[in-house]
Structure 1
Amino acid sequence: MGKKLTIGSLKYDHMKHADSIEQTVNIGSSTVNEPGKIIEMKQNQRYFQIEVKTGQSILNAAIEKNLSLDYKCKKGTCGKCKVVLVNGISYLQPANHLEEKKLHHLIQSGFRLACQAKVR
């Protein structure tokens, strides 16, 4: 059985960690409000510019912003979400194995799968 709470255990002296917990929460929430990176790309002769948050895929950012980016499976297998990056490629994580398998040498020319390409 766990430790029982008593009135004495709830006093200030026993709760010294409360300040450090509050600081951790504040630090964590400041990264949530951090602005994303601007990615510029083309797909089927259409130009897109979108702000993508850290860890977010280009496709999820596009869906969130109601952009008409073509896609189908969202798994990296169909290739329908293929885009060519115009600007912001340095903000992205390296291509994963699904992109390498689907796009091969096109990655070197700036092509990526929007469902797999994520901001660092």
Structure 2
Amino acid sequence: MNREWTVGSLIPGRETRRAPLEPPARLAEEKQPSLDKLAAAVQWKQKEASCTVSVKPGITLLDAALEQGCSIDYKCRKGTCGRCAVDIFSGETFLSLRNEAEQKKLGASLRRLACQAVMREA
């Protein structure tokens, strides 16, 4: 009889059973996102906060970040205050081209205004 021994199982008259452990490789596979999910995401950083947001075409990066629970500093939602400016690390192709408000506020900077950058399919 193949039996797992635990501290409780050494007490006479007490029977304990445990579920077999899953192999670590299978657990690692389940926790890793698929390549499809990684491909449709925008990764950004603002001051000390950073986040990876799943692409939702037609909504702004700011709205997607807030919807997905990311911490982001913002105020006006019109592109005039500049508080929502973020550095984009990956997924730039999933964002609309810079609009007039972004060009006026950020100039030639590589940053984006999260309230003005609209997500789209690549």
> What residue in structure 1 maps to residue 72 of structure 2?
69
SS at match of 1:75: coil
Find out whether 1:112 has 2:112 as its counterpart: yes
Q: When the two structures are superposed, what TM-score results if normalisation uses the length of structure 1?
A: 0.65
Q: Matches of 1:37 and 1:101 in 2, distance apart?
A: 28
Which one of the candidate residues 90, 95, 98 is aligned to 1:95? 98
Contact conserved, 1:40 with 1:86, CA < 8 A, in 2? yes
More helix per residue: 1
Shift of 1:63: 1.4
- Please report how far the alpha carbon of residue 57 of structure 1 lies from its aligned counterpart in structure 2 after TM superposition: 0.5
> 1:57 and 2:57 equivalent?
no
Give the aligned partner of residue 82 of structure 2.
79
The alignment yields a C-alpha RMSD, in angstroms, of 1.6
- Aligned positions, number: 83
Q: Find runs of 4+ consecutive structure 1 residues off by over 6 angstroms.
A: none
Q: SS where residue 107 of structure 2 aligns?
A: helix
Please tell me whether Structure 1 or Structure 2 has the larger radius of gyration of its CA atoms.
Answer: 2
Unaligned runs of 5+ in 2: 1-36
Distance 2:89 2:40 in 1: 13
CA distance in 1, matches of 2:70, 2:53: 9
* 1:62 to partner: Cα distance: 1.2
Contact in 1 for aligned 2:49/2:72 (Cα 8 Å): no
Aligned-partner Cα distance in 2 for 1:90–1:65: 20
CA distance in 2 between partners of 1:55 and 1:92 (Å): 10
In the superposition, the TM-score normalised over structure 2's length comes to 0.64
Identity, % of aligned pairs? Answer: 42
